[in-house]
A = this chain, B = another copy of it.
Amino acid sequence: MQLLFLGTGAGMPSKQRNTTSTVLKLLEERGTFWMFDCGEATQHQILHTTLKPRKLEKLFITHLHGDHIYGLPGLLGSRSFLGGDEPLTIYGPTGLKNWIDVTLAVSKTHVKYPLTIIEIEEGTVFEDEQFIVEAKLLEHVMPCYGYSVKQKALAPELYIEKTDALGVPRGPLLRQLKEGNDVVLSNGTIVKSEEVTGEVREGFKVTILGDTKYCENSIQLSEKADIVVHEGTFDIETAELARLYGHSTIVDAAEVCQNAYAKNLVVNHISARFLSSDLSNMLTQVKHYPFPIYIAEDLAEYSFVNGLLTKCK
């Protein structure tokens, strides 16, 4: 799993930061990637990555401000043009479906893949054998959702040298054992799953929040998350503006993580008022928090391996 930040700015594009889009790369886990928000020119940012639009499986929209959705129609059209024919599901607030429908219709964009648009409410918005995605409303100037993505526990490793030694034939019995069931061999021997498997491995949890003030639902969504992506439009010195416009400071973001016992924080949605040279000052404001804190840049990629988050690009 990797997190790839396509756009990390707020409100309007600048030369340094595009409007918001964050990609959760699940290529190893399910051969696809998921996207959270899609500001204008997200498809342009993709041109600078190895992402293939046809591998976009799910798109979660936090809220309907332009800097989070205006790149959607272009990406939907290009995904079709580039040969994407696998289904795509979009999740987001009420009003999203009508806008997409009107926009694709007026521009005579006929996508060639099954497109499903789900207007969500709080709760579980997606679940399969691998993942569960929960949404909660945050506190912004319009309805805005945060999403937590929890990978389910991974099947334990099966020690094939042990099953061989016990005479378990290669075939369906191995799967039974891997899934935690004991089996009886044709000679009557009982083989217990726990004899031949390793430990159940915990899945990861990533929480990707939208535009919001510091709020309780952010904490709940972020509970014990491995990674929290939280907006930090402002800093301590501009905290007044954050309150005024329904946004957070980088300190608010850190407080959420602290109170949620989260393990890593990546801050995005940075106001264009902050230049690269201001970022170290922002990080100084949160240096006393006991977990790693990063300020994301456009096209930066973070890799989560063996419980550790590292910036790989």
Contacts and interface: CB of A to CB of B under 8 A. Distances in A.
Interface of A: 11-15, 18-19, 40-41, 43-44, 47-48, 64-67, 69-71, 73-74, 77-78, 81-82, 95-96, 98-99, 102-103, 106-109, 141-142
Contacts of A71: 40
25 contacts: A12-B74, A12-B78, A12-B81, A13-B74, A14-B47, A18-B44, A19-B74, A40-B41, A40-B44, A40-B70, A41-B41, A64-B106, A64-B107, A64-B108, A66-B73, A66-B109, A70-B73, A70-B74, A70-B107, A96-B106, A98-B102, A98-B106, A102-B102, A103-B103, A108-B142
Q: How many copies does the complex hold?
A: 2
A240 to B, nearest CB: 19
Nearest to A15: B47
A74 B106 CA distance: 17
A131 to B, nearest CB: 29
Contact of A106 (B18, B99, B141): B99
B103 A99 contact: yes
B40 A74 contact: yes
A19 B48 CA distance: 17
A108 B65 contact: yes
A107 B95 CA distance: 9
Contact of A95 (B11, B15, B67, B106): B106
A115 to B, nearest CB: 15
A81 B11 CA distance: 9
Given A41-B41, A71-B40, A73-B70, A13 B103 contact: no
A44 B41 contact: yes
Given A40-B71, A99-B102, 16 more contacts: A12-B82, A13-B41, A13-B74, A40-B41, A40-B44, A40-B70, A40-B74, A41-B41, A64-B106, A65-B107, A65-B108, A67-B74, A70-B74, A96-B106, A98-B106, A99-B103
